[in-house]
Amino acid sequence: MSTTIAPTQEETKQLRRVSADLPPTPPESEHSDNEKAELENPSPVVEVDIALPPPSTPPTQVLEPDKKTPDSWLPRDPRLIRLTGVHPFNSEAPLSDLYSEGFLTSPELFYVRNHGHVPEVKDEEIPDWEFTIEGMVEHPIKLTFRGLLEQYEQKTYPITLVCAGNRRKEQNVVKKTKGFSWGAAGVSTALFTGVQLGDLLRKAKPKRGARYVCMEGADKLPNGYYGTSVKLNWALDPNRGMMLAHRMNGEMLRPDHGKPLRAVIPGQIGGRSVKWLKRLIITAEPSDNWYHIYDNRVLPTMISPEESANNPKWWVDERYAIYDLSTNSAIAYPAHEEKLCLADPPPEYRAKGYAYGGGGRRITRVEISLDKGKSWRLANIDYAEDRYREAGLKQLCGGTLDMEEREASFCWCFWNLDLAVSELSTVDDIFVRAMDESMNVQPRDMYWSVLGMMNNPWYRITIAHEGDYLRFEHPTQPALIPGGWMERVKKAGGNLANGYWGEKIGGEETSESVVEVAREVVMVGEGVKNIITIDELRQHDKEDAPWFVVNGEVYDGTPFIEGHPGGATSIFSAAGLDSTDEFMAIHSDTAKSMMQTYHIGTLDTASLAALTNDDASPTTTPTETPTFLSPRTWKKSLLKSKRTISSDTRIFTFALDHRTQTLGLPVGQHLMLRLRDPVSREAIIRSYTPISPVTAEGHVDILIKVYFPTASQQQGGKLSLALDSLPLGHTVEFKGPIGKFEYLGFGRCAVNGRERCVGGFVMICAGSGVTPIYQVLRSVLQNKEDATGCVLINGNRKEEDILCKAELDALVLGREERCKALYTLTRPSAAWRGLHGRIAGPLLTEHCSRDAFPTPADAEEGRKGGTMVLICGPAALEKSVKKELLSLGWAEEDLLFF
């Protein structure tokens, strides 16, 4: 809009409302002589065409998906597209809505990147919010929010923030990265008000040798508090524009955007702008924060997800850390699926979009091609940021606007170009690319990397010629929203990395693939076109004919109820639900390929949305249920304590909903534990058996072996490493029970619901496989009336590797006539007096001969019927033990693998 730089009447009202706690002018001593002269003798009011914030209406309703999350107190705008499911909240606006708001973005549509729950800070707590400046400084500072307002000059700057994952969905379609699927709207611009970071750091006086400013927020996450770093000399440079901001478009920061205080680092990726700021630590080295190391990096394109997981050297190499944004652009109009009528068309169509650079570099040209890059034409560029420079030294949104002498460009620009409709009707696509003042130009082809960050190849939309219409198609749609020419080409068998966007051009030979195309397991049946509604799905949420959903496709679980390795309860608990997280996280490619057989149709879009909302509905209140676990709903549990048992083993204690509640886990069954990868937000799910008694109230203890990366660069355990870093007070999610075996007592057990009576158990385990064995053994031996016999064979490398040994020995002590416990080691010490070697043929022949144990036929002679072998350990152990036991005469139905 065209307006004077002096605040309008409406803006003055707004500033009075939101700036009551700000001093009317900065402290006089903080102004330079030139600034004081300008403020005392203001220049004549000049008509300047600057952008003021768009209308803003703060949301007042908590959305249904948020009600059962830690963010249940926080209202949000329903237009935002959720990128990581229900929680944590990561979102972008529809691209058309974002562009249409103009140069400045409202807080409602400003993109959100959260790694966990949002810290709740009440308004009355804000004046006393504290943060520190510490580390290599001569004068450490502890400052309150009130002190920040009273002691330092407040500045206002327009700044564009961009998530490093912007446009990542395009990379994920080519080959799955470890990051979630941003569209092209992971970018937003606002007027930020706060204190220049350099003013604070100079008062603290960094010591000689200090090179970095490490920042840490208040958001507590599985791997500690979120933190990162920037170079100290950048932070001290006023031309870099770094600030600690407390206002956005003239109003207090919203909770999702860092209320009450955040860092804003112009020209760099959004991940450097730490929200809910609590600490600034001046150091000689870059941050050692987990999120600085394992997030916001572009690893070399040849590094696969497997290699990045196996070899930590890639993550600690600071050369791959991202700071400045890359040059990028996108087309907003034509919008995705927009149609242009050719029956009576306008002579021209105005294509429009955005572009931005990094590190303060100005975008100097935006170019459009209608012939796949053979020729280009210049677009018009609107530099709205320049109008703020021309405005001079003025008060705006509670701070001083002083950009006259700043050359750096920290905002996006909008471009447009009129294209003849007659020409559009003869071409197949529109490309855009941008160049900055360093002649950095967007590349033609994608640079794929394991985290999917900084994606900036030419932005392409395709044109479909459909009779009297042209239909425009963007490359992708964000999150799990289907659509886009990339998905269409890939489904048709095209190689998106062939150098021609998956299409062969004019008979030319395709070039070598830029990126190896991921092998995707086909899980849908050929020719299955059935569309299924949520009402039909809900008719099959029972045990007699369970249907479940994976990635929007519906499967009939009835045929594999009997043979499922996890037992029938795994199928029943998924009936009528979206089981994508559990299925994709747990099952192998082999299991996934089998799903074609059971595929019966596709859930329609409205039903999928309804199913998602159902999954997000609030759970029952803690006092309503005597047991904690639910087979159909993930339940949150808080980590109370963490006890180290050995160098790689921990006991984690989690709180249940209330003090008298029991877990609700039958003896011999397991629960599923779910965390989300802090970077990719993909679900990490594993099954565990607690070591606490099934009668324990108010808590559950789980013994977990932590699989660290080894010297030979073997992959560490994704979930166990995340749990090991999990701070106390954080939550995980549980679901269950699962498993096909249950011990009922007195030799009675159930396998897939069918009861069986045995006279004894042979229990074979290794490593952490002892936990389900321990659970069953304890149930047998602690009941004096239970005469079931047991033989335990427990294999490990060294004596210190034997988990629960003291507990096992205590159970057996005094019950030797009912139970024999044998331990065997492959790397024993000289003092070891137990068995030596692996659990293999010779050992099993000596201690597990079939003739030495009762068989079902023995029941006729008055002996309790049969013996069952329970086995739990690594896959290689289970395979070899099965082979040996079958050769010793054991029947396959007598062997049960946990």
Q: Is the pLDDT of residue 677 over 80?
A: no
What gap in Å lies between CA 823 and CA 874, rounded to an integer?
A: 17
Closest Cα partner for 213 from 287, 310, 295, 309?
287
Q: Fold identical between 328-491 and 531-615? A: no
380-382 and 413-420 beta bridge pairing: antiparallel
Residue 21 binned pLDDT confidence (cut-offs 50, 70, 90): very low
What gap in Å lies between CA 532 and CA 301, rounded to an integer?
A: 40
Residue 543 binned pLDDT confidence (cut-offs 50, 70, 90): low
Q: Is the pLDDT of residue 666 over 80?
A: yes
Overall average pLDDT of the 509-532 stretch: 64
Residue 565 binned pLDDT confidence (cut-offs 50, 70, 90): low
Overall average pLDDT of the 41-65 stretch: 78
Phi, psi at 188, each rounded to 5°: -155, 160
In the chain, pLDDT over 70 holds for what percent of residues?
86
Q: Is the pLDDT of residue 38 over 50?
A: no
pLDDT at res. 381: 98
Residue 517 binned pLDDT confidence (cut-offs 50, 70, 90): very low
Where is average pLDDT lowest: 171-185, 612-626, 645-659?
Answer: 612-626
Distance of CA 49 to the CA centre of its chain: 41
What residues are annotated to the active site? 163, 295-296
Which is more confident, 412 or 571? 412
Residue 153 binned pLDDT confidence (cut-offs 50, 70, 90): very high
Q: Is the pLDDT of residue 647 over 90?
A: no
- From residue 267, alpha-carbon distances to 281, 390, 392 in Å are 22, 21, 22
What gap in Å lies between CA 747 and CA 548, rounded to an integer?
A: 35
Where is average pLDDT lowest: 213-217, 306-310, 376-380?
Answer: 306-310
Q: Are 312 and 290 in contact (CB under 8 A)?
A: no
Q: Which residue has the tokens 């944590």?
A: 88
Reported as a single tens digit per residue, the pLDDT across 825-858 is: 999 999 998 999 999 888 998 888 887 787 665 5
pLDDT at res. 508: 42
Given its phi and psi angles, is residue 317 left (phi above 0), alpha (psi -120 to 50 degrees) or beta?
beta
Residue 621 binned pLDDT confidence (cut-offs 50, 70, 90): very low
Helix, strand and coil content of the chain, in percent to the nearest 5, comes to 25, 30, 45
Which is more confident, 117 or 622? 117
Overall average pLDDT of the 714-740 stretch: 81
Q: Is the pLDDT of residue 30 over 60?
A: no
pLDDT at res. 332: 98
pLDDT at res. 876: 85
Assign domain 531-615 to its CATH superfamily.
Cytochrome b5-like heme/steroid binding domain (3.10.120.10)
pLDDT at res. 590: 65
Q: Are 404 and 393 in contact (CB under 8 A)?
A: yes
Q: Are 193 and 397 in contact (CB under 8 A)?
A: yes
- From residue 177, alpha-carbon distances to 180, 209, 471, 579, 604 in Å are 8, 38, 30, 21, 27
Residue 613 binned pLDDT confidence (cut-offs 50, 70, 90): low
Rounded to 5 degrees, what angle do the CA atoms 234, 680, 495 make?
A: 105
Q: Are 660 and 654 in contact (CB under 8 A)?
A: no
**743-897 sits in which CATH class?**
alpha beta
Helix axes 770-781, 805-812, angle to 10 degrees: 20
Residue 261 binned pLDDT confidence (cut-offs 50, 70, 90): very high
* CATH no., domain 328-491: 2.60.40.650
Look over the chain and give the mean of its residue pLDDT values, rounded to a whole number: 86
Q: Which residue has the tokens 């524009």?
A: 241
Overall average pLDDT of the 759-773 stretch: 91
DSSP 135: E
pLDDT at res. 10: 41
The annotated binding site for Mo-molybdopterin is made up of 163
Residue 772 binned pLDDT confidence (cut-offs 50, 70, 90): very high
pLDDT at res. 645: 87
What gap in Å lies between CA 184 and CA 168, rounded to an integer?
A: 8
- From residue 796, alpha-carbon distances to 383, 770, 819, 836 in Å are 68, 10, 20, 10
Segments making up each domain of the chain, as ranges: 328-491, 531-615, 622-738, 743-897
pLDDT at res. 568: 62
Residue 143 binned pLDDT confidence (cut-offs 50, 70, 90): very high
Q: Which residue has the tokens 């004894």?
A: 760
Q: Is the pLDDT of residue 121 over 50?
A: yes
pLDDT at res. 22: 39
Which is more confident, 135 or 344? 135
Q: Are 474 and 334 in contact (CB under 8 A)?
A: no
In the chain, pLDDT over 90 holds for what percent of residues?
56
Where is average pLDDT lowest: 163-177, 290-304, 723-737, 752-766?
Answer: 723-737
Which is more confident, 630 or 435? 435
Reported as a single tens digit per residue, the pLDDT across 808-832 is: 999 999 888 889 999 999 999 999 9
Reported as a single tens digit per residue, the pLDDT across 342-379 is: 998 999 999 999 999 999 999 999 999 999 999 999 99
Q: Are 638 and 654 in contact (CB under 8 A)?
A: yes
Overall average pLDDT of the 243-254 stretch: 97
What gap in Å lies between CA 167 and CA 474, rounded to an integer?
A: 11
Rg (the chain; Cα; Å): 32
Overall average pLDDT of the 567-595 stretch: 70
Overall average pLDDT of the 34-39 stretch: 47
* CATH no., domain 622-738: 2.40.30.10
Q: Is the pLDDT of residue 544 over 80?
A: no
Where is average pLDDT lowest: 13-22, 305-314, 630-639, 864-873?
Answer: 13-22
Alpha-carbon dihedral 678, 684, 687, 692, rounded to 10 degrees? 10
β-bridge mates for residue 868, sequence order: 761
Judged by DSSP in three states, 209 sits in coil
- From residue 188, alpha-carbon distances to 99, 281, 708, 804 in Å are 9, 28, 39, 54
